[in-house]
Structure 1
Amino acid sequence: MTGKTAQKITLWEFFQQLGKTFMLPVALLSFCGIMLGIGSSLSSRDVITLLPFLGHPILQAIFIWMSKIGSFAFSFLPVMFCIAIPLGLAREDKGVAAFSGFVGYAVMNLAVNFWLSTQGILPTSDVAVLKAHNVQNVLGIQSIDTGILGAVIAGIIIWRLHERFHTLRLPDALAFFGGTRSVPIVTSVVMGVIGLLIPLVWPWFALGISGLGHIIESAGEFGPMIFGTGERLLLPFGLQHILVALIRFTEAGGTMDVCGHTVNGALTIFQAQLSCPDTHGFSESATRFLSQGKMPAFLGGLPGAALAMYHCARPENRHKIKGLMISGVIACVVGGTTEPIEFLFLFVAPALYLIHALLTGLGFTTMAVLGVTIGNTDGNIIDFIVFGVLHGMATKWYLVPLAAAIWFVVYYALFRFAIKHFNLKTPGREADVTDSAESASTSTPGKSGYDVPALLNALGGAANIDTLDNCITRLRLSVKEMSRVNVDALKANRAIGVIKVNDHNLQVVIGPQVQSVKDEMAQLMSSTRETAAVDAG
């Protein structure tokens, strides 16, 4: 993170930042899922029977290697979260925060193991006893499996310890243990104590999550709709990752025995079944919360909305927004990133976005009712091919193009009617599009493809920015004076949308290239401040 934080963050902002930290392990999880999906499907007996040449020993060795590599994220997911959270939340000394995350998570589980041993529960190989106390191997340690929720709580505690102690000053005799060195030391002690408390309090946490799972399960086929609609409604606020993590990685998304292990969470169940050679087919109760539910809206609905917005634009403006629409559709269909399209109509027609959220949720329920079983996270064409087509007809992948076609027609008709009837100012319908486009800077774009100096200037300059960070598609900033932020200039320089969270915090929606934009802006801010310091000296 660049700069210092001038204002104390609110609970809302904290959850936004926490959700952003999930993206590092989730991005790896998505990649590993694709590796695991390709490897497991192409090494299956059914595929080899259909395509005998894939049975060649060298090819099979490659596919099995891909499966092994892909299973990494599934095997170490909790510890990855416990490392990523302090890494993402820490303002300074991020490497120390990440190191402390690993130390704290390992010590916590060693302390749990110690408590279980003192109570006479361990050591044992009795499967019934281990299951009764939810004991599993965690980093090679027999401990209570607290899953992702336990890792998230531990990560937050370790982050707070890091913020409190990374500048600790000790007397000269103990100075070696001060500063950043004190963080893993303090973390070891604190997490060692917390590990002793976990066996006492964790059953209550597990009971609460299990209760949430029962509520979702009791909703029947409407459970996936509630999840899918809720995810879309939380997206503009950057809070969707919290809901998604609960369903994907905790008991709220289901519990199942896979290959002799109890697995919690929809995505975790799906990936466990992918890597289990004894599993044939995927659990419908898990995949109903995964990629398949997004596909009607992502592969059909939003492209239909983009085409409607293009056709409703003024004829003289269509050539100016064509690239915007095409890039948005590609990001949605290929990458599963929907914000470049959604933010084109979110602010001008919130009611239309609400309908979009409901239709996305309906897509989840429709896929569940039809018995489609396509997993993973992104809902894009890659997931459709890797986890649908490559795994055979049992996944019912052939129903996805039909549903996507229906959603395309519905979105196109709905958006075209709403835009025309209510005169919505979607891209290309403003009379001053030419003036706005001409107001954009004509300087040479950087590696990101964006005019970052113009964007920085529109944000009030480097002196106006306290903190700069990013998530998947947005710049997240804290500014000294919101009045110095020029929203029109940001949009004229290809910002898709601007969300003012409060008087000092805002988000600028860029799209898939946001990381490059953030890096260029951080470098530009650093050089600007260095120049200012030299001039002042």
Structure 2
Amino acid sequence: MKYAYRLGKAVMLPVACLPVAGLLMGVGFWLDPVGQGENLLLAHVMILAGSVLIDNMSLLFTLGVAVGLADEQDGTAALAGVISWLMIQKILSPDNVVILTGNRVDASSFSYINNQFVGILSGWIGAYCCNKYRFKVFHGPLQIYGGRVYALMMATIYAALASIMLLFAWPYLHSACLYVGESLIGTGALGAGVYGFLNRLLIPTGFHHVLNSVFWFDLAGIADLNSFWNGTGVYGQTGMYMTGYFPVMIFGLPGAALAMYHTAYPAQKKMAAGLLLTASLCSVLTGVTEPLEFAFMFLAPGLFLLHAILMGISMYICAALPFRIGFNFSAGLMDYFMCLNAPMTQNPGLLLPVGLLFGLLYYIVFRFCILHFHLKTPGREASEKENEKK
């Protein structure tokens, strides 16, 4: 548990830079919703600036975890982590997977290998090798390969071994996600609820994109997202796999952030407020939730499980109600206002009562769990005695 706490602290460093990136992308898409940056220079620059960090979140996590878990802060762990990440990305690129397996596996499953799980794994390899091997000493002509160089060399070996294991395991995990997603088709509101639960649960692995492709696009004949905006779906049904995100992203997660702020120790409230406020704004305005979710995912994994359950409940309730809204980018206010005149939109005003319900629910659940189980959410990292002294 102590190691998981250290991991959570390490992840906080890259997480802190994500809200601004999400806001830049969201505002860029809002300024040019049709061309998505192609028709307006300012929007294009903002989208590119934000996407640099969002698209490379995996690498940021590698650096954060490597630095956070390393015993010595001389840069060796960070370099070892980046080397590990680069090796895994190169070895497991779809083109190389075809060569390595003789085209016997679905190489397209490795399109999602650039994810936070691999980033954290690479960072852990870098920190582990640095902590374990950096003091290795060789004598004679081989002495140049001792110390930090040896740690870097060992990181390449560990990364290669990790790549081999992922090469065999990843296609099965990908197929399992596809199977589960396709099994939920035709199960109505219950299926939407299960999908919402699994979507949040799979975020660290990147496999939530696989589930999304089943329901949002034409992988299994649903194309919920495309049909919603094209007006080619079934009114009152199309949008059921998107609507439930809005109450959570606009109301629920900010409610959770407020609970974390209120339960933060007095000496750390200002620090917590800075992170939680920007992450909440990012979620509310743009629907980019990773900055807020990763802020407590590893510090308090039980809360993240509750968050996934609440997301499933939101998806179920919204799918059962005569309530349909959709998004192009994500389920934030910007997309909400853009979808008001979409052909498949149904009773968009229901977002307010449903959203307020989930905002209150998130606040109560998170506040109770944090205080009752003494969870180390942002602003509660130090002990109570240390904060009393401050």
The TM-score, its normalising length taken from structure 1, stands at 0.46
Aligned CA RMSD, in angstroms, stands at: 5.4
Q: Who wins on radius of gyration, i.e. which is larger? A: 1
The residue type equivalent to 1:117 in the other structure is I
Q: 1:250 to 1:16 in 2, by over 3 A?
A: farther
Matches of 2:362 and 2:151, distance apart in 1? 53
SS in 1 for 2:381: strand
Shift of 1:107: 1.9
Aligned to 1:475: 381
Aligned to 1:400: 351
Aligned with residue 187 of structure 1, among 155, 180, 184: 155
Aligned to 1:140: none
SS in 1 for 2:191: coil
Shift of 1:61: 0.7
The residue type equivalent to 1:14 in the other structure is Y
Aligned to 2:71: 91
Q: Which has the higher strand share?
A: 1
Identity of aligned residues (%): 16
Aligned to 2:106: 132
Shift of 1:404: 3.7
CA contact (8 A) 1:97 1:159 kept: yes
Aligned to 2:192: 221
Shift of 1:400: 2.6
Aligned to 2:60: 80
Shift of 1:62: 0.6
Aligned with residue 42 of structure 1, among 31, 43, 52: 31
Shift of 1:66: 1.1
Aligned with residue 293 of structure 1, among 237, 240, 248: 248
Matches of 1:199 and 1:248, distance apart in 2? 16
Aligned with residue 213 of structure 2, among 235, 251, 255: 255
State how 1:65-464 maps to structure 2 within 5 Å. 65-93=45-73, 95-112=75-92, 116-117=98-99, 121=103, 132-134=106-108, 145-148=112-115, 149-210=117-178, 219-223=190-194, 226=197, 243=201, 245-246=203-204, 250=208, 253-255=211-213, 284=239, 287=242, 290=245, 292-297=247-252, 331=277, 334=281, 362-369=313-320, 370-373=323-326, 384-389=332-337, 392-394=340-342, 398-405=349-356
Shift of 1:367: 4.1
SS in 2 for 1:473: coil
Shift of 1:68: 1.8
CA contact (8 A) 1:104 1:158 kept: yes
Matches of 1:71 and 1:401, distance apart in 2? 30
The C-alpha deviation readout for 1:231-266, integer Å capped at 9, x for no partner, is 8xxxxxxxxxxx463486545743359999x9xxxx
Shift of 1:100: 1.5
Q: 1:299 to 1:207 in 2, by over 3 A?
A: closer
CA contact (8 A) 2:174 2:207 kept: no
Matches of 2:182 and 2:121, distance apart in 1? 23
Q: How many residues align?
A: 330
Structure with larger RCO (C-alpha < 8 A, sep 6+) = 2
Matches of 1:355 and 1:194, distance apart in 2? 30
Aligned to 1:434: none
Matches of 2:6 and 2:78, distance apart in 1? 16
Matches of 2:107 and 2:306, distance apart in 1? 45
The residue type equivalent to 2:353 in the other structure is L
CA contact (8 A) 2:109 2:171 kept: no
The residue type equivalent to 2:154 in the other structure is V
The residue type equivalent to 1:295 in the other structure is I
The C-alpha deviation readout for 1:110-135, integer Å capped at 9, x for no partner, is 344666436555xxxxxxx9x93227
CA contact (8 A) 1:294 1:363 kept: no
CA contact (8 A) 2:14 2:64 kept: yes
Q: 1:205 to 1:411 in 2, by over 3 A?
A: closer
Matches of 2:178 and 2:252, distance apart in 1? 30
